[in-house]
Amino acid sequence: MTQSKIPVDLILSKLVEESEKVQSRAKKGSEVLLGELDTELAKTPYDVVYQEDRVKLKHYRPRTETRYHTPLLVVYALINRETMLDLQPGRSVVERFLDAGIDLYMIDWGYPTRKDRFFGLDDHINGYMDNVIDFIRGQHEIDKINLMGICMGGTFSVIYSALHPEKIKNLVTTVTPTNFDTKKGLLHVWMEHIDVDRVVDTFGNLPADVMNFGFLLLNPARLMIDKYVGFMENLDNQQFVENFVRMDKWIFDSPDLPGEVFREFVKYCYQGNMLLNNKLEIGGRQVDLKKLTMPLLNIYGKYDHLVPPEACETLINHVGSGDKKNICLDTGHIGIYVSSKYQEAFAPEIANWLKERDKIPKKKAPRKKSAAPRKATGVNADTSKKKPIANKSKPVAKPRPAKSKAPSEPTKP
């Protein structure tokens, strides 16, 4: 009888060793999960200094002396929440901007309800964004502010800057789609062929659960298998578990998407590629990229599966600015903001770029006060200094019959 070549004793020994490791991990993991976990997001202190409908303007309290003459407004996408920039202390783009001495504002788009379904790109860009920017200009008595847009919020910022170049000093775009004529990335293929009219007419606002399911299908092996395998393998690591829970809380904290915004964004951008071809009209005005004459910094990720480099990198070839720069980082869509490694390259790069262009802004001429100031809230809000916006020539949201008829709904938690 010949001896078996299979090392049975070694295999059994390894099985016992692995079994003991699993038991030890499970025991310690249960202690971690049953213990006290710190999974709170967005802990950097701020005040809500302006509010209009569901839209709020956050103004972050300084952590050091302000070293910039021009404040920075960050505009996030309508998908997911702006809390991604402030996941936790020590891992926060917000903290890095504040530590650099930037006076920082950020828009919180809130949670749309049924009455928001008819609000389109014009309402969000020429309405909410314009009112917020006018408020900041009024607070600081300056003509121009710095604007930074993220993903869909970056596209909004490009459109806004082309329509209102006199109000933007420097423009920063990050993982921002502007060229939609690409087959790179499954999202672009889906959006090119989706029957968006049928979707919006069926749902009204696009439900967050539908969007999240779609995003999971873009990379199911990694997002539905690998990440949870990794969680089980690190169950006994409290810091890993806390970071995992924070990220999942952010991922699934998704507002619904206003129906008309979704319809117009898909038709005008994904299916028409009208922005890059200067064929887009918002509020009856052509969005001419040649009017982007302010300095432009455009940052994107080499491995971004949602907004691939091909969707971002060509923007600088179409703008009118002579001061423009592309930066491609070796990471993905979210890694730019949450990875400790890339935060060190990302936020300081923007801070330094803005510092080099931070000339003393021109003071605005005093404006006549209105008797009907816009609603603003906040713990430390000083309403006596706010610029009245009630006498603006353009209202924030065009009156639509459904706005007054639709029943009010409680917002998502």
Q: Please report which helix (H) or strand (E) contains residue 210, including its range.
A: helix 208-218
Residues near 1 by beta carbon (within 8 Å), at least 6 away in sequence: none
Best CA proximity match to 76, nearest among 102, 95, 55: 55
Q: Does residue 205 contact residue 179 with C-beta atoms inside 8 Å?
A: no
DSSP code per residue over 396-409? SS---HHHHHSPP-
Strand partners, 6: none
Please give the Cα distance from 85 to 334 (Å, whole number).
Answer: 10
Sequence-separated (6 or more) residues with CB below 8 Å from residue 165: 291, 292, 293, 294
Report d(CA 81, CA 161) in Å as an integer.
22
Specify whether the CB–CB gap between 128 and 396 falls below 8 A: yes
Contacts of 30 (CB under 8 A, 6+ apart): none
Q: How far apart are CA 15 and CA 389, in angstroms?
A: 71
Distances (CA, A) of 288 to 74, 123, 229: 22, 19, 48
Q: Which of 38, 87, 36, 76 is nearest to 156 (CA)?
A: 76
Residue pair 175/311 in contact by the 8 Å Cβ criterion: no
Angle at 13 between CA 8 and CA 19, to 5 degrees: 125
| Calpha distance 334→246 (Å, rounded) | 14
The CA–CA distances, whole Å, from 272 to 180, 230, 267 equal 8, 40, 6
Q: Which helix (H) or strand (E) holds 149?
A: strand 145-150
Residues forming the active site: 151
What are the two backbone dihedrals, phi and then psi, of residue 115, each rounded to the nearest 5 degrees? Answer: -70, -15
